[in-house]
């Protein structure tokens, strides 16, 4: 049983690797989302690697996968990642969705902005050196 899912949404079934997986072509930002991952995979034409966003949505009490091609993997400076949007009770197997697709996409977009390489204008600091410098300054000024 999955709480928070949109069971009324459409789902299709795709044959992959000897089994069937539920797949979808449409999604709403308000839908409950079990997970969102960005992974690098070979392009279908074999010419390079692309970044793909995989979203695990709940459809008909199953996880339906939405795949989005985000373009060349070379343009992404951050590593591949996975964000969980739901939890599964290990004893009962019950899944509870905690986030929507829109929320997980916002988190992913924030990760892209937050993890960009630092600008050359910002000087890195030596925290240990700053700490000892501050201690020495306090000793000198006798501030405790």
Section 10-25 average pLDDT: 48
- Domains of the chain by residue range: 2-141
Residues 33-74: pLDDT tens digits?
Answer: 999 999 999 998 999 999 999 999 887 777 888 999 999 999
What whole-number distance in Å separates Cα of residue 57 and Cα of residue 5? 8
Half-sphere exposure (CA, 13 Å, Cβ side) for 77?
9
Token pair in block for residue 52: 């793909």
Token pair in block for residue 142: 């006798």
Query: In b/e form, how buried is each residue of 34-56, taking b as 16+ CB within 10 angstroms?
Result: bbbbbeeeeeeeeeeebbbbebb
pLDDT of amino acid 6: 42
Q: Whole-model pTM above 0.75? A: no
């Amino acid at each position: 049983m999955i709480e928070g899912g949109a069971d009324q949404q459409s789902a299709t079934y795709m044959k992959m690797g000897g089994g069937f997986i539920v797949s979808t072509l449409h999604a709403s930002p308000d839908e409950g989302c079990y997970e969102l991952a960005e992974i690098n995979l070979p392009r279908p034409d074999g010419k390079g690697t692309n970044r793909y966003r995989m979203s695990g949505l709940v459809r008909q009490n199953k996880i339906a996968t939405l795949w989005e091609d985000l373009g060349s993997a070379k343009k992404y400076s951050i590593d591949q990642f996975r964000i969980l949007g739901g939890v599964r009770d290990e004893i009962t197997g019950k899944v509870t969705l905690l986030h929507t697709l829109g929320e997980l996409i916002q988190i992913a977009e924030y990760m892209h902005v937050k993890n960009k390489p630092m600008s050359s204008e910002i000087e890195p600091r030596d925290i240990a050196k700053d700490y000892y410098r501050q201690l020495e300054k306090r000793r000198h000024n006798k501030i405790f």
